[in-house]
Copies of this chain bind each other. A is one copy, B any other.
């Protein structure tokens, strides 16, 4: 049966960290999910022929190219998977959509609102022609996060009153950590804000189902000068090390956000807590198979946050994998993402999160930056 499914050729641009994890997703998705199409790992693109070929062999891609434009020209490539830094997203995505390729694009969608607007417009045009696009906020596909969304949508926590979201890492606490591309504005757009803050903005809006209507923020670069990676001296860090911001959701809830790479001992601690009129939810990616749920409609004596192992057959995505309690990891969020993307393509539906969703996040990030630059003044965020 698997053999009879139409094949869908995938071309991946970039093969660093994101390229490796996307490859594992493309490689695994068919063995666990019953898909109407069969993804084929056709080709990857990288700037160096040597490294691209080695990566293709190692990661399981049939071929390698040095120019991503070549992928757009190939008839055996139907999907472009963009795994490069943010400064290249707009150009590649817009060209790919124009060429009729479905596009999966890493987050943040772009390095500026203007780029994101152009991408969202291109995506809307393409959708009219049946060409699909999706931005890779992979953490939506943690089963616990998707289940949190379901509980909120089902009214289980009532009216949302509070969101508190943190994304804490510690990989540049050491001032000798080199000035990698993620610390340079021209490549990364921003620092903790765009890299990890983008995830919690998207997750807060996704889980609550409500957009942010305004924000106020502060930010800081604690280590202002770092060694260059090539050892040729030091250079200025041109992005934020950490950002703290507050906001309001459309339904009136208060939201609190914090993204930092300066929290020792917090390795990849993406935490979200939502308090509603009927209950609360709490999540930490460092314990990704768990969701905490307090149901305030129970008798007071029986209340309390319960640790739900989100590994039951009835939980989102979980049934495709192992028996209850056996646990998934980081990479599975990408496998789920690819699954949903392929399913949408096959069904002729628009996958979520869309480029428009990515643009909405971009606008929040821009508003935070503007507020931080203007005495934390409240900045409304448009739709």
Q: How many residues of A contact B (CB 8 A)?
A: 100
Q: A59-B31, A330-B322 are in contact. Are A301 and B312 (CB under 8 A)?
A: yes
Interfacial residues of chain A within 260-284, with CB under 8 A of chain B in the complex:
260, 262-269, 275-280
| A254 close to B220 (CB less than 8 A) | yes
Contact assessment for A323 and B58 in the assembled complex, using a CB-CB cutoff below 8 Å: no
Q: Is the CB of A169 within 8 A of B218?
A: no
Which parts of A261-317 form the interface with B (CB within 8 Å)?
Answer: 262-269, 275-280, 285-289, 293-294, 296, 299-309, 311-315
A4 to chain B: closest CB distance in Å?
Answer: 10
What does DSSP make chain A's interface, helix, strand, loop or mixed? mixed
A378 at the interface (CB under 8 A from B): yes
> Contacts of A266 on B, CB cut-off 8 Å?
275, 280, 325
- A2–B57 CB distance below 8 A: yes
Of all chain B residues, the one with the shortest Cβ separation from A303 is B265
Please indicate the chain B residues that have their CB under 8 angstroms from the CB of A329 in the complex. Answer: 289, 321-322, 326-329, 332
Oligomer copy total: 4
Answer whether residue A3 sits at the interface, using C-beta atoms and an 8 A cutoff.
yes
Which of A22-30, A89-97, A110-118, A356-364 participates in binding chain B?
A22-30
Chain A residues within 8 Å of B, Cβ to Cβ: 1-3, 17, 20-21, 23-24, 27-28, 30-31, 54, 57-60, 147, 157, 161-162, 164, 166, 168-171, 173, 216-220, 222, 242, 244-246, 248, 252, 254-256, 258, 260, 262-269, 275-280, 285-289, 293-294, 296, 299-309, 311-315, 321-332, 371, 375-378
22 intermolecular pairs with C-beta atoms under 8 Å apart: A17-B323, A24-B31, A27-B31, A28-B28, A31-B59, A161-B242, A162-B242, A162-B262, A164-B166, A216-B246, A244-B246, A254-B258, A262-B275, A263-B275, A263-B280, A264-B277, A265-B305, A268-B323, A268-B326, A321-B329, A322-B329, A322-B331
